[in-house]
Structure formats: structure tokens, C-alpha cells
Chain A
Amino acid sequence: MIFQVLLAIAISFVLYRLYTAYKILRTCRGKFSDRLNGLPKRILVFFIHNITQKKHLKSGAVFHSFIFWGFIIYLISYINDPLLVSFGYSIEILETPGFHLIRDLFGIMVLIGVAIAFFRRIKGVEYLENTLDAWITLILITSVVVLSILMSKSPIGFKADNEALWWAHTMLLLFFMVFVFYSKHMHIFFAPLSVLFTEFDRLLEKDGRYEGSERLDEFHWREVFNAFSCANCGRCDRVCPALKTGSELSPRRIIFKAMRSLAFKKGKIFDYLDKKVIWDCYLCLACTEVCPSYNEHYRIIIQLRRKILSEGIVDEGIQRALININRYGNSFGRPSRLRFSWAKDLGFKDVRKDFAEYLWYVGDYACYHPEIQRISRLAFKVFKKLGLDFGLLPDERNAGNDLRRVGEEGLFELIAEKNIKSLEKAKFNKIITTDPHTYHALKEYRFFGREFEVYHYTQVIYDLLKNAKIKKLNYRVTYHDPCYLGRYNKEYEMPRKILKLLGVELVEMKRNRENSLCCGAGGGGIWKMEERKEKPSYIRVKEASEVADILVVACPKDYVMFLDAVKACGLDLKVVDLIELIAESLEVNE
């Protein structure tokens, strides 16, 4: 009887907390159905990702999986005893020594996991906060499991039939249940749901929040949900290139401190967060990629950027780039008529007049940066040699990718509309691009009026290369995955397949594919006037030079950043665009 009363009290605490969370989410923008599209797929993902602990294992958090799996088994067990048992029912099979054995084995696994967790906290791990609630939780888990093994009827259990033990165990359980919901461990409930509400791709929809969000009712519920599912584990901080180079920007603090405080204490998010650090982010998505709770930090950061941009708080270099893109269609502030001066003598097809299968959308850096113009010319000749039917669009403008990432949503919309108008008048079937930033932005145009078939050039020329006469290259190279090809669009393999075709020896850096370390150009990084002394590109080139002599890139901004970094660090490393290797292999000269 007492137990039912205590259970009722505990459950009401939990329900009240859930109700609070629900009210908070209701205050936010958006409908729950926003993240319920494709429900069958979501449910599948929910089960598979949660049960296999996919992300946790990938980031090396085996101990967490141990504890999690144990939790599932224990949860099943507790449905029976003490819950049903206290009402006079019981599920036979869950009382058998056999089941108890299974539970005990999982219990041991949990204890191993907890031991590792204890050890980590004692040793100290970067960005792992040693909070009281973490210690309490670990102690609670340990005691609950130990007590359950003591009372277990399995061959390895102690079969203790003590009422005191039962009460101790049950009280600890009830306390744990309530404690979970009032601490960071509410992620136990919310993180699995976070998986259910995950994003299917990283194309940002049009949401009409031009001036961003700072109050609770301005954020979308999924953005606030991040705060509930965050476990304060610090993995995001650990992979953040800004933090690695001396910034104060902490993705973890944005979610766990700022967003959480906003959710429970209301006000404005900047009451809990410094505005200036928002500009340090490169929007590289490393934090979002690594997060085992499927949090989407970058969506929040974009809202914050929109807000402070609307207040006029913006780095001067970024401001200059925005004004230039608006007036001249390129971030360099160079005349729009000179965009294709690099291609004048190459004789290109003008898709406004003549049809071409592919429109090659070239991009600012490839058109105006003197170093990259050379590579653009090579690419042009490579495409011609491979027999690709392509043309250029003379009134091409900056596709707008970084406008969005720095928070100039209104200008992005304007430019997208202008570009779509130009594109609709042109004669082509598909778009091909050599610039990952452009690649991503063009894909987002589907939310702004028109969906185009867009490819990165590696996705198109592979088959053509297979049938071409190639000279094998005898180099030892490593490949850097660009953020906008890799994490944003999940294209990791095509460039590697091409490298394999070319015959080079590809040695991977430790941080490859979705763990790639951003070069620091994104999110306006390459435009900023105020710079920190150390840059992520410096760290990256040092990493590359440890495994190979040649660093292959597939993005013009990577090329520029790494070229500068190699000089700054005084390394022997050669920075080479994939196109240059392809050109060499096809014996195409400048």
C-alpha cells in the first residue's frame, strides 16, 4: 500500500515535469507534425538507432551502450517487480531464474559500464563536466543494480529475500525515477525521442524567421527540444574547431546552459549567452554529427546569427562581403561583368542561348580568386576532354550558401529568387558544380521556388573517367572531406573512388569522412576581418603532413585556407585540388 502511494507521488512528480516540458514546447513555434513526416521511416530509425546505439558506439562510448542496454532489460524487469507485483499481478516469465540470469548478466555489463564512467570522470576528460548530478546518477545506478543482483533468484544471484533490501531497492528506484527527470538525465526520456524527431537531411527549410529567434516563443519546438535531450556529455565541444583554436564558443553550453535556461527561466537566450561568440562558429556541423542525442546545434546557431545580424552586430569583413554579394553578385566586390573573364579565351557555351546537358555553376572563388581561376581553367579542359556537354551561365551570381549561414536569410531569399529566375530562362537539364558551398545552396533552392537536379562534379565524371585513357599517378595522398560535400550532403565516397581510379595511394587521416576537421572558411570564417591567431586549417595541415606529402581537396575555399596554412606553419605539404590530379592523369595542361 505504502509503495502505491509512494509510486503515485513519484509518478506525479514525473508527470508534472513532463507537463512542464510539454508546456514549454507548446510555447514554441511549429507543430509537432513538423517532425512527424515519413512516420514509418522515423519509427524504424527510432528502434534501430536507439537499440543499436549506433552513434554512441561510433564515438567510442561503449560504456554508455552497456548501461543503456542494461537499462532496457531492467526496465522490462521493473514493470513486473515492483510495479505489477505491488498490485498483485505478475508476469511469470520475468520471475524465472532464467530471466534473472539474463538480467544479472546485463547488470554486470552495466556495472562495467559504470566503472568505466567513474574512471573517466576521475581521470578527467576534455569538456566533460563533473557535476554533482552525474556522480549521484552513477552511484544510484550502481546501488540499484547491486541490490537487484543481491535479490536475484538466478544461479549467480544472492537470492536474498530481505524486506529491508526490497524497500531500499524500491526507494532508490523511485528516487532515481524522479531524479532523472529533474536533472540532465531527463535525456533518458527525451534523447530516444530526439531520434524519432531527427532531421532526414541537412537542407534548411524556409521558415520565415528572418530576424532569428531569441525568446522561447520564437524558437521552433525542435530547437528547444535539444535542451531536454542533451546529456551534457561534451562530445560536441570536443570536435568543435572554434573551441580548438581558442574561441569561447561552446556548442554544449549553447544547448545545455543557454537553451535550457531559456526553456525553464524564460527571458532572452542572450541573458545566458554572449552575443559575440556566435560569430566564431564555422557552421561545420561537427557538433551535430557527433551528438549521440541527435541534437541539431547548427539550427539554433543560425537563428542566433539572424538575430544579432538584425541588430547590426556583425564583423566588418562579413558586412563587406554581404554588401558586395548584394551589389555585385560576388563576395569579392569585383565587377559582375568580369565573372567569366577567366574563361573568355576557352570558348564556352552560353546556356542562355544554346542548350547544354549540364550547366556548370562555377561559384565566386572559382571565378574571382586568382589561384582558383587556374584550377577552373583546368576543370574546364577536363570536362571538355571527357566529352561532357556543359555550358556556363553568364549572369551567374553567388548561390548564397554563406549568406544563409551568417544569418542573412532575407538576402539569401532575394538572391535565390534572382538566380532561379536566371536559371529558369536558361537551357539545360542538370546542374553540375565544382564548389561544395554552391552545391549545397542550389539544393536548398527547392524551398525557395524550384528544385533543380544538382550534382557535384565527382558524381558525374566518375563514369566518364572509367572509360577514358588515364595515366596512373604514383602519389601518396590524403583527402580532406569538405564540410558541404561531406557532413552536409553525405558524399564521402565519390572523390575517393576517383582517387582510386587515378591510381594514387590514399592514406586516411585519423579524422576523416564525417569526422573531418573543418578548414575554418565556413559560416563567414573566410570573410571575417577579426581573426584569432590559430586557425583550424593550421591544425588540419599538420594532421595531413603526418600521413602524406600531398593533401587533396575538393573545395576552392579549402584550397585557399590550406595554402595559407601551409605557409603559415612552414610545412612541406603540397595542397592540390582533385581536379589538378584528374587533369594530370588525363594529360590536360594549363
Chain B
Amino acid sequence: MIMVYAEVLNGVISDITYEILRKAREIADHTEEEVVTVVMGYNVDLKYLGASDRIIYVEDERLKNFALHRYVLEKIIDKYSPRIILIGNTSIGMDLIGGQPCIISCYDFNDSVKSISYGGKVFIESKLDRGILLINRGSFEPLRVEKEVKVERLSLDELGVKVDIELVEIIRPEVEDVDISKAEIVVGVGRGAQNIIDVAEELAKILNGVVGASRPVIDQGLLPRSRQVGRSGKTISPKLYLALGISGAMEHIEGVKAKNVIAINKDKNAPIFRISRYGVVGDVEEIVPLLLERLRS
């Protein structure tokens, strides 16, 4: 059995679940296993989980609190003994591991599991007989299928999960000025370009796009959090992503699903070039103003 954990936030199943389902479906069709999707939450719309063979739904208001999911999952794994459990490599996903054997930051798996570590500098191939795989966002294309699937309901009380953790609230970021996740063209500002944010904004304007930023720039308060691109920020899927002074750490790249990436960075070994169509090894502060000039004329 291949078990897929459906990540639910505010009652909505996250994209990554559908990405994982695609791969799960592919493997299961090959190995003739069952794909069982586990959903925990309340009033969750299961409409698009059609790629699963079966859905296990633990519906309870208390399960709006994702901190309890670890314990519920433990019980479910005990009960159903899946061969492989697929979870998104996200903040919520990483909390679920418990004591299970687990490989982190996977980008593909067939007979062997392919994952990334050492800040993106080492690619690893390993074998996991039984256990959890944390799958990176953007590893697969999402697979949404609208199909009726057998739903098995479990009761939280019956599972016997008694944990004293309360979800007090979920804080939203400041009022969104711009939703970068819907933009066609994004100009990304990284540490190397944080001194020319105004130039980047001009560039974005001329290209009819928006400005996003990597985590370090956001952490310094140079741009609002709504502009953060990455694992703990937004996922963008523009036609074009212009990455300025961005190194391309795993955390950031997971949020980038662009058709074309053009990157400018001082370091020729920056991981961002691995996902770029075009690259420039140079000083953003020097090149971008010149580029802006050229585009203006």
C-alpha cells in the first residue's frame, strides 16, 4: 500500500498533495499496489482526490489542529501497515515523522529513492524498504482527478489519540498588496540584490511583472512577507522568473515553478543556475541598471 498524507490548511488540501498523488499513482500502477490517501481535518472537500484508490478520512473539528496529525498518523500506520508513506516536505509534513524511518527532501523515487542534502550540494540515492518519504514541492506536476472514490471514515476518539496541544490561531500576513503566486512575470530579489530593490521594482514594472524575494531579504524586513518565494513562502509559476542575486537554496527553489528562469549571481556555482535557462555570472548591481536602460529605449 502506498499511503499519501493529504496536507490540509484552513480546510483546503494543499497543492503538494496532488503532486505526490501523481507519482504515487504512477508507482502504484506499476507495482499494482493500492494508493490510500489519508485526510485529517474538518469539512474538507475531497473532490479532486480521484487519483487515489481509497480515502481514509478522519473528520473531527479538533483535527483542524495539524499538531495532532502526527499522533493520528502513527495510529493509522499501525493499523494499515503501508509500505511507503508519502508526505510533503513542508513545515507541517516534517512534524509528522515520529520514529518512522524517513528520507528527507526527496525529488524522485522508483526502485531507489533520490534525495538532496548538504544545502543542495550532494545528490543521494538510497533504498527504503518501509517508511516515510518527504517529497519536495514542485517535484511532480499536480494530478487532480474528479472521481468518486471509496471513503473510509475513522473517528478520532476511536483511534484513541489524546494529546494536549491546542491550535490557538493562525496568523495571516499583512493585507496582500500583490499576490505573486498568480503573476506571469516575477523579478526575484535575493541577498545579492537587496541594495537595488528600487531598481528591481522598476524592472518589474517595465516587464509588467511583480517583485518577489528570497527568505533572507524578507527576514530583514526589506519587503513584506507576502512577497516571499520559497518553501515557507509562496509558490510562483510565472512564464518568466528573473532571479537577481539569489543563490538558489533548496528552500527557495521549491517555491519556483517557472517556465523560464534567468539568473544573475556573482557565484558561478550558485545552485540557482541548475534550474535556469539563462545565467549570468556577474554583479547584479552593475548589470541590472544597464539592463533597465536597454529596456527603456
Q: CB within 8 Å of B: which residues of A?
A: 316, 370, 531, 564, 567
B232 interfacial contact with A, CB 8 Å: no
Give chain B nearest CB distance to A564 CB in angstroms. Answer: 8
Kindly state the separation between the CA atoms of A370 and B285 in the bound complex, as whole angstroms: 14
Which one of B195, B220, B266, B286 lies within 8 Å of A567 (CB-CB)?
B286
Across the interface, which residues of A come within 8 angstroms of B289, CB to CB?
567
Instruction: State the majority secondary structure of interface residues on A.
Output: helix
Which 4 residue pairs are nearest across A and B when measured between Cβ atoms? A567-B286, A531-B195, A567-B289, A564-B285
Kindly state the separation between the CA atoms of A567 and B286 in the bound complex, as whole angstroms: 9
Q: Mark B264-292, 1 if CB is under 8 A from A, else 0.
A: 00100000000000000000011001000
Across the interface, which residues of A come within 8 angstroms of B266, CB to CB?
370
Give chain A nearest CB distance to B190 CB in angstroms. Answer: 14
B interface residues, tally (CB under 8 Å): 6
Q: What are 6 A-to-B residue pairs whose CB atoms are below 8 Å? A: A316-B220, A370-B266, A531-B195, A564-B285, A567-B286, A567-B289
Across the interface, which residues of B come within 8 angstroms of A567, CB to CB?
286, 289
Across the interface, which residues of A come within 8 angstroms of B220, CB to CB?
316
Give chain A nearest CB distance to B192 CB in angstroms. Answer: 12
Q: Which residue of A lies closest to B290 (CB)?
A: A567
Give chain B nearest CB distance to A537 CB in angstroms. Answer: 14
Q: Mark B212-246, 1 if CB is under 8 A from A, else 0.
A: 00000000100000000000000000000000000
Kindly state the separation between the CA atoms of A370 and B267 in the bound complex, as whole angstroms: 11
Kindly state the separation between the CA atoms of A370 and B283 in the bound complex, as whole angstroms: 10
Across the interface, which residues of B come within 8 angstroms of A531, CB to CB?
195
Across the interface, which residues of B come within 8 angstroms of A370, CB to CB?
266
Kindly state the separation between the CA atoms of A571 and B285 in the bound complex, as whole angstroms: 17
Kindly state the separation between the CA atoms of A370 and B265 in the bound complex, as whole angstroms: 13
Give chain B nearest CB distance to A105 CB in angstroms. Answer: 61
Give chain A nearest CB distance to B65 CB in angstroms. Answer: 36
B187-220 CB contacts (< 8 Å) to partner A: 195, 220
Give chain A nearest CB distance to B92 CB in angstroms. Answer: 31
Kindly state the separation between the CA atoms of A246 and B286 in the bound complex, as whole angstroms: 25
Across the interface, which residues of B come within 8 angstroms of A564, CB to CB?
285
Kindly state the separation between the CA atoms of A531 and B196 in the bound complex, as whole angstroms: 12
Kindly state the separation between the CA atoms of A582 and B264 in the bound complex, as whole angstroms: 34
Q: Which residue of A lies closest to B194 (CB)?
A: A529
Kindly state the separation between the CA atoms of A46 and B220 in the bound complex, as whole angstroms: 53
Across the interface, which residues of B come within 8 angstroms of A316, CB to CB?
220
Give chain A nearest CB distance to B84 CB in angstroms. Answer: 39
Across the interface, which residues of A come within 8 angstroms of B286, CB to CB?
567
Kindly state the separation between the CA atoms of A564 and B266 in the bound complex, as whole angstroms: 16
Give chain A nearest CB distance to B42 CB in angstroms. Answer: 43
Give chain B nearest CB distance to A552 CB in angstroms. Answer: 22
Across the interface, which residues of A come within 8 angstroms of B195, CB to CB?
531
Kindly state the separation between the CA atoms of A268 and B183 in the bound complex, as whole angstroms: 54
Q: Which residue of B lies closest to A316 (CB)?
A: B220
Kindly state the separation between the CA atoms of A554 and B286 in the bound complex, as whole angstroms: 23
Q: Which residue of A lies closest to B267 (CB)?
A: A334
Kindly state the separation between the CA atoms of A370 and B220 in the bound complex, as whole angstroms: 27
Give chain A nearest CB distance to B214 CB in angstroms. Answer: 15
B124-147 CB contacts (< 8 Å) to partner A: none
